[in-house]
């Protein structure tokens, strides 16, 4: 998966895998290494990340609207699109239009082009319209934000009433991710750690905290 990279320093990054030493066990894959419809790449991703667990955490059903933040080449986006079709929508965002073109090819290959909207966004802003989304997914991307708390607060107004934010990432990013979500005013509803080396955390906006205000 591609990440929303920090402007300048992280532009051109073509995968959500962190470049830190801990990540050497699962090296980055450049978007040009394989064509976007390569089934072996998709199979490897599905085996490693178990996307069905992420879809379950999001609670996706046909007709829902979900934001796939830092969607990259769409290895996870295809699963979201299948889950919300028919009648639903996936807004796939990234800072790199080139990788979103690859995502388009991947989605076209499964016949769900009409379900997915590609959207280029700035690295520090969600770029999501207010009151629209049943769920917002941040998959291996939140650690790239210059200010996690500010980004989450900016994203909260995009949720529908009862909407959720799901953050999934490597386990060593867990503590700062949960701390940022808490500081932004989100409530941790559920956490899944069944996938080795990964966590999946589901958050909601608690009663008494408006999505438009967050927490001071």
**Contact present, 69 and 137 (Cβ < 8 Å):** yes
CA nearest to 2, candidates 106, 88, 83, 114? 106
The pLDDT tens digits of the residues spanning 126-182 come to: 999 999 999 999 999 999 999 999 999 999 999 999 999 999 999 999 999 999 999
Residue 178 lies in a domain: yes
Answer yes or no: are the C-beta atoms of 211 and 204 closer than 8 Å.
no
> What confidence score (pLDDT) does residue 9 get?
38
Whole-angstrom distance, CA of residue 149 vs CA of residue 85: 32
Structure confidence at residue 90 as a pLDDT band (50, 70, 90): very high
Residue 172 lies in a domain: yes
- The answer as to whether 82 is a domain residue is yes
Number of separate domains in the chain: 1
Residue 95 lies in a domain: yes
Q: What is the mean pLDDT of the chain?
A: 84
Long-range Cβ contacts of 193-199 (<8 Å, 24+ apart): 194/50, 194/53, 195/49, 195/50, 195/53, 197/170, 197/171, 198/49, 198/168, 198/169, 198/170, 198/171, 199/168, 199/169, 199/171, 199/174
10 in a structural domain: no
Question: What domain range is 106 assigned to?
Answer: 21-204
Kindly tell me the burial class for residue 204, based on how many C-beta atoms sit within 10 Å of its own C-beta (0-12, 13-18, 19 or more).
middle
Residue 24 has pLDDT above 50, yes or no: no
Q: Is the pTM of this model over 0.85?
A: no
Question: Which of 21-25, 46-50, 202-206, 208-212 has the largest mean confidence?
Answer: 202-206
Residue 150 falls inside a structural domain: yes
Sign of the torsion angle spanned by Cα atoms 46, 47, 49, 54: positive
Residue 16 in domain: no
| Residue 213 maps to a domain | no
**Residue 142: which CATH number?**
3.40.50.150
For residue 40, what pLDDT is reported?
A: 85
């Amino acid at each position: 998966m591609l990440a929303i990279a920090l402007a300048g320093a992280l532009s051109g990054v073509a995968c959500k895998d962190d470049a830190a030493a801990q990540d050497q066990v699962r090296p980055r894959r450049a978007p040009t290494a394989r064509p976007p419809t390569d089934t072996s790449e998709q199979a490897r991703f599905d085996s490693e990340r178990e996307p069905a667990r992420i879809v379950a955490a999001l609670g996706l059903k046909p007709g829902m609207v979900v934001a796939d933040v830092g969607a990259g080449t769409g290895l996870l986006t295809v699963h979201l699109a299948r889950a919300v079709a028919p009648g639903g929508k996936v807004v796939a965002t990234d800072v790199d239009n080139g990788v979103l073109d690859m995502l388009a090819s991947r989605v076209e290959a499964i016949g769900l082009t009409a379900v997915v909207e590609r959207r280029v966004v700035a690295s520090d802003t969600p770029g999501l319209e207010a009151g629209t989304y049943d769920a917002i997914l941040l998959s291996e991307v939140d650690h790239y934000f210059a200010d996690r708390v500010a980004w989450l607060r900016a994203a909260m107004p995009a949720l529908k009433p009862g909407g959720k934010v799901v953050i999934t990432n490597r386990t060593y990013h867990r503590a700062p991710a949960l701390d940022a979500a808490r500081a932004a005013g989100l409530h941790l509803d559920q956490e899944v750690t069944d996938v080795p080396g990964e966590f999946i955390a589901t958050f909601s906006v608690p009663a008494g905290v408006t999505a438009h205000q967050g927490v001071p």
